[in-house]
């Protein structure tokens, strides 16, 4: 009976396994911390575009100027300007669409490319 207790192997995580998972989670946390602000910027742009389209601006320059005014207030919008918006009219309703890319520097020559695009509702 004594030998049976000593013959059992211990279970758990080894030091190498702990280091691997620690490094993996740290890298995932850094990437998440770099991606979240770009996602928040996308939702801010989407909200601004929806607000402008719901106001049904009379001209394309008026819509672009309104976006630039919103951009001055919303500090998180950095990727596009009013000139980057594509503004059309469908069924007497203004439709505004946008698309842009964001590069996130990971390490050395490695980058993460995020492509965002959206359209007013």
pLDDT at 35 over 80: yes
Domain boundaries in the chain? 14-119
Give rounded-to-5 percent helix, strand, coil for the chain. 50, 25, 25
Which residues does 16 contact at the CB level (< 8 Å), separation at least 6? none
Alpha-carbon gap, residue 54 to 70, rounded angstroms: 14
pLDDT exceeds 60 at position 3: no
Give the pLDDT confidence score for residue 4 in this predicted structure. Answer: 58
Residue 7 has pLDDT above 70, yes or no: no
| pLDDT at residue number 6 | 62
Q: Return d(Cα 11, Cα 26) in angstroms, integer.
A: 25
pLDDT at 58: 87
């Amino acid at each position: 009976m004594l030998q049976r207790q000593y013959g059992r192997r211990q279970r758990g995580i080894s030091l190498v396994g702990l280091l691997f998972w620690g490094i993996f989670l740290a890298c995932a946390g850094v990437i998440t911390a770099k991606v979240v602000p770009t996602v928040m910027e996308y939702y801010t742009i989407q909200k601004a575009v929806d607000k402008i389209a719901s106001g049904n601006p009379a001209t394309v320059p008026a819509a672009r100027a309104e976006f630039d005014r919103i951009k001055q207030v919303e500090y998180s919008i950095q990727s596009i300007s009013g000139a980057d918006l594509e503004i059309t009219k469908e069924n007497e309703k203004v439709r505004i669409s946008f698309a842009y890319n964001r590069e996130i520097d990971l390490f050395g020559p490695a980058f993460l490319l995020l492509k965002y695009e959206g359209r007013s509702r």
